[in-house]
Amino acid sequence: MADVTDGQSQWEFSCDLEVDYDSEENASMVYAALAVDKELQPDKVKRDMTVSGGKLSVHFEAIEARFLRASYSAFVDVLTLATKTIEELGQGMEL
């Protein structure tokens, strides 16, 4: 559950995701690719992303579990695609 200190109790559900890319450059590329997609229902789901030490950290908050699940699931699908693309490009560059 999210810690609510500002009096708003609507953001009742939260989760965190962290992916270690072992490279600040790769983490930043994935961040840049994913940052352009904003939440479709920002009044129901919030997503905050940061990059530090080669790690992409994502924090989700939602008013209902189903919105959190849908947002997280869609995000992981795109994250997987971006990660595979980075891996493929990286392999092609190691000539």
Each residue's pLDDT tens digit, 66-76: 999 999 999 99
User: Is 21 part of any domain?
Assistant: yes
Domain count, the chain: 1
Is 3 a member of any domain?
no
Domain extent for 79? 13-92
CATH number at residue 86: 3.30.310.50
To the nearest 10 degrees (0 to 180), the angle between helices 65-92 and 24-35 is: 130
Q: Does the structure show a pLDDT above 70 at 91?
A: no
pTM: 0.80
Largest CA distance in the chain: 56
Report if residue 71 sits inside a domain. Answer: yes
pLDDT band at 9 (very low <50, low <70, confident <90, very high): low
User: 8 in a domain, yes or no?
Assistant: no
In a domain, 70, yes or no: yes
